[in-house]
Amino acid sequence: MRELQLSAAGALRPPAQVLVLGARESHRHGSAGHAVRGPPSRLVAPAASLPAGGNREIPPPTGRLPSASPARRAPCKDCQVIMKVLLLKDPEEDDCGQDPYIRELGLYGLEATLIPVLSFEFLSLPSFSEKLSHPEGYGGLIFTSPRAVEAVELCLEKDNKTKVWRKSLKEKWNAKSVYVVGNATASLVNKIGLHTEGENCGNAEKLAECICSRESSALPLLFPCGTLKREILLKMLKDRGIPVESLTVYQTIPHPGIQGNLNSYYSQQGIPASITFFIPSGLTHSLKHIQGYLVTTLTRLRCSSQHPWGVRTVSVV
């Protein structure tokens, strides 16, 4: 069995164990670091709409995206068959309507499959909706994840505030600062009509530094967040005397279809050449489900990460 390793320059090169890369959790999916920003040629789990109950789940794997053009695809060296890559993440759509990892890895002749491992339950939406209706009480907004932006959309839809948002609330918030982490989150914020600052900061710590250098309002910044938020941003802002009002609007839970989707994948595709994790909670919730499949062919998973959660080795026996 061969491993797919991502070099610092972004090139794909085959090594000798299963490599697991972590990416920043902010994202909706967010950026996965500078090593690779694209995808392969097979999409297993298309994104689902948000159900009325506030839970966001991805259905079982379906569908296949067209592979990359042969003229643009680089050959997979030393491979006699197509290498399969399993990406444990939600699908995302870029401007071309395709997950960027699916497209990019497809250029290298790799067939990748996306299986979501997390689901999200939204919380405190009535309270959040009330706060969104009173921008005059805040100095601005902070978004560090796509889910927080989805919470805004849910509030507007459930409370029939879409028209008033477009007519007045949006412009009132745009008169203030709207800080974000990551281009993926910034793109979603832009889609609801808000202008953003700080998207190139890369992580919560750098965003806090950006906010500290710009913010002068005595009003608190409204920070919708999840249960797994990092405390570094709040601590840095508090230490600098910048008021922040955080509100937990979603919690991360294991995706209910992890086991079924993995069973389907392994029965049809077999053991992949590489398995990639993107966020710490994704590793936590999915590792126990993949151990049984890998123990017969591998002795361990080597987890390499550009994320602050660091590099670790996880035994599968």
pLDDT in tens, 211-263: 999 988 899 999 999 998 878 999 999 999 999 999 999 999 999 999 899 99
Query: Do 239 and 126 belong to one domain?
Result: yes
| Residues 6+ away with beta carbon under 8 Å from 55 | 119, 120, 121, 122
Query: Do 244 and 135 belong to one domain?
Result: yes
Query: Do 215 and 141 belong to one domain?
Result: yes
Query: Do 178 and 261 belong to one domain?
Result: no
Q: What DSSP state is assigned to residue 304?
A: E
Q: Do 235 and 207 form a contact (C-beta atoms < 8 A)?
A: no
Classify the C-alpha dihedral 188-194-195-201 as positive or negative. negative
Query: Do 305 and 270 belong to one domain?
Result: yes
Look at residues 223, 257, 275 and name the one whose alpha carbon lies nearest to residue 87: 275
Burial of 158 (0-12, 13-18, 19+ CB in 10 A): middle
The whole-number average pLDDT for the span 132-161 is 94
The answer to whether residue 33 scores a pLDDT higher than 50 is: no
Considering the chain, what is the average pLDDT of its residues?
74
Number of domains in the chain: 2
pLDDT, residue 296, reads: 53
The answer to whether residue 96 scores a pLDDT higher than 80 is: no
CATH of the domain at 267: 3.40.50.10090
In a domain, 15, yes or no: no
pLDDT, residue 95, reads: 67
In whole angstroms, give the CA distance from residue 117 to residue 147.
15
Query: Do 265 and 154 belong to one domain?
Result: no
Domain interval for residue 221: 121-252
The pTM (predicted TM-score) of the whole model is 0.66
Alpha helices, DSSP H only, in the chain? 100-106, 125-132, 146-158, 162-164, 170-174, 183-191, 204-214, 232-239, 258-269, 280-294
Residue with tokens 């919708």: 224
Beta partners for residue 312, in sequence order: 303
In a domain, 298, yes or no: yes
Look at residues 285, 282, 258, 252 and name the one whose alpha carbon lies nearest to residue 122: 252
Look at residues 224, 244, 219, 234 and name the one whose alpha carbon lies nearest to residue 135: 219
Query: Do 146 and 214 belong to one domain?
Result: yes
pLDDT, residue 26, reads: 35
Query: Do 161 and 221 belong to one domain?
Result: yes
pLDDT, residue 274, reads: 81
Give percent above pLDDT 90 in the chain: 40
Which range, of 74-88, 140-154, 224-238, 278-292, averages the lowest pLDDT? 74-88
The answer to whether residue 28 scores a pLDDT higher than 80 is: no
What digits encode the pLDDT tens for the residues 304-315? 343 544 434 343
In a domain, 4, yes or no: no
The whole-number average pLDDT for the span 39-67 is 40
Query: Do 242 and 261 belong to one domain?
Result: no
Residues 52, 96, 256, 85: what is their CA dihedral angle, to the nearest 10 degrees? 180
Which range, of 39-43, 121-125, 130-134, 166-170, averages the lowest pLDDT? 39-43
More confident residue, 76 or 293: 293
Which range, of 102-106, 171-175, 309-313, averages the lowest pLDDT? 309-313
pLDDT, residue 114, reads: 93
Burial of 178 (0-12, 13-18, 19+ CB in 10 A): buried
R_g over Cα of the chain:
20
pLDDT, residue 297, reads: 54
Q: Do 131 and 161 form a contact (C-beta atoms < 8 A)?
A: no
In a domain, 53, yes or no: no
pLDDT, residue 12, reads: 35
